[in-house]
Chains A and B, each alone.
Chain A
């Protein structure tokens, strides 16, 4: 057999294996049960508006709030890391290591239950406020590391050129280094936005009031109440809504990264 014939045979048999797997799955799956459990469309029609206009809306709102808060925190942490005074650098490093080392769920539980009891202090906004503060604290730590990498990726010659023109250190940071660093970190920051969006589902554990429920909490409710109770249909719908937001974002990141690679 020639080389190309062997390659062709190999490709064909891989297709055959794939087809066989699909056929086996289709034949063995209990389509009736799958449909009833995940796609019970009858009766669900009453819930979808809540899912979109309360659940998805809150999920997006919480993502944006904690992203902005986390970003501001990250900028502060990065400036502390670059500070000439060592204790500031230690503090920022300790913070970043701590919050990157803890599961987000633990931080949320701490803010939701531990802190109000131990310190008698409740973050503004009640339960959901506590959860959002927790998400910000965690996101800030990750974004600080991303930002630092971005700042370090700006060539040293940029700082030297600005300083040699007499610009002071703060101006050099603000108008020369930061704008370039931000451009570099837009793709990784968008990735963090996606992670944050998924992490808002963790707020499920702190008991949100009806109007504050995000997508996962609401989907869980509709698994045990309402017309599609007893099935996972609401969860399927929630999953589709998550994907409708996250997939375009991850595609966007891939596109931006390939563009950055080409322009280099």
Chain B
């Protein structure tokens, strides 16, 4: 495989994601007020919490779509808050799936999957297309490579978005409410793909309202409220026997 960059100094024993005392403010509004947590390799960590609690902000700090105000974020042992870190290179190792899919509307499905492979990983077109096709097959959309995103259903678009992220061969995947914009009957297909990924051992951090998914495939459940992690632990444990009042209140509303 022809990589454009020299390989990073990966710390094999380090957790996939390690967040230390993370703070994030927008002006006077402190959205994250000291977050400490980690995701181990191969773990599926689900993040739940009320709207505005900072879930998206936390996720977006992990690949530095948002600039943390203070604190440290280590991705496979590499400090991504260090200004000398080659961010673009780290980002190729972190797949991200958005609530609104964010496919490139002016490109075919296949091109959506190859453009970043070629531009950011320096892969040739042939290799990129082969990898793209493998991933389309994986999400069950092998027959859609020539389609444009506008001609796909929401569920198909989100699966293409997942395949696009996977085509970079990331070490971990971040999902920000991947099924929230979907019609209920299309949620299942996307969740199935995510479950398959989890079973293959992909490291995943998933912001979601799908408690069933968290219970079934999550290794850890994190409950956030007001910019802090209120409670975390085994998903079944947290969901059936929440320790904190705020967790109980939240769960009584959504379950």
B-binding residues in A (CB < 8 A)? 155, 157-158, 160-168, 171, 175-176, 179-180, 183, 263
Contacts and interface: CB of A to CB of B under 8 A. Distances in A.
A161 B104 contact: yes
B102 A168 contact: no
Given A157-B98, A157-B100, A175-B119, A164 B106 contact: no
Given A158-B102, A161-B102, A179-B106, A166 B120 contact: yes
A78 B215 CA distance: 50
B164 interface: yes
Interface of B: 63, 65, 88-92, 94-96, 98, 100, 102-106, 115-116, 119-121, 150, 161, 164-165, 168
Contact of A160 (B94, B98, B161): B98
B120 A171 contact: yes
A151 to B, nearest CB: 14
Contacts of B88: 163, 166-168
A167 B116 contact: yes
Contact of B65 (A164, A171, A180): A164
Contacts of A171: 119-120
Nearest to B116: A165
A165 to B, nearest CB: 4
B110 to A, nearest CB: 15
A167 B96 CA distance: 13
Contacts of B161: 161
Contact of A183 (B63, B106, B119): B106
A157 B164 CA distance: 15
B89 A176 contact: no
Contact of A166 (B98, B121, B150): B121
A169 to B, nearest CB: 9
B102 A160 contact: yes
Given A165-B91, A166-B121, A166-B168, A160 B65 contact: yes
The 6 closest A-B pairs by CB, nearest first: A166-B92, A165-B116, A166-B120, A161-B102, A157-B102, A164-B96
Contact of A167 (B102, B106, B120, B165): B120
Q: Which of A162, A164, A165, A179 is the most central at the interface, judged by chain B CB atoms within 10 Å of its CB?
A: A165
Contacts of B95: 164
Contacts of B89: 166
A103 B157 CA distance: 49
A165 B119 CA distance: 10
Contacts of A183: 106
Contacts of A179: 106
B91 A163 contact: yes
Nearest to A183: B106
A164 B104 contact: no
B136 to A, nearest CB: 16
A263 B95 CA distance: 30
B92 A165 contact: yes
B65 A175 contact: no
A155 B104 CA distance: 10
Q: Which of A161, A167, A171 is the most central at the interface, judged by chain B CB atoms within 10 Å of its CB?
A: A161
Contacts of B91: 163-166
A158 B89 CA distance: 19
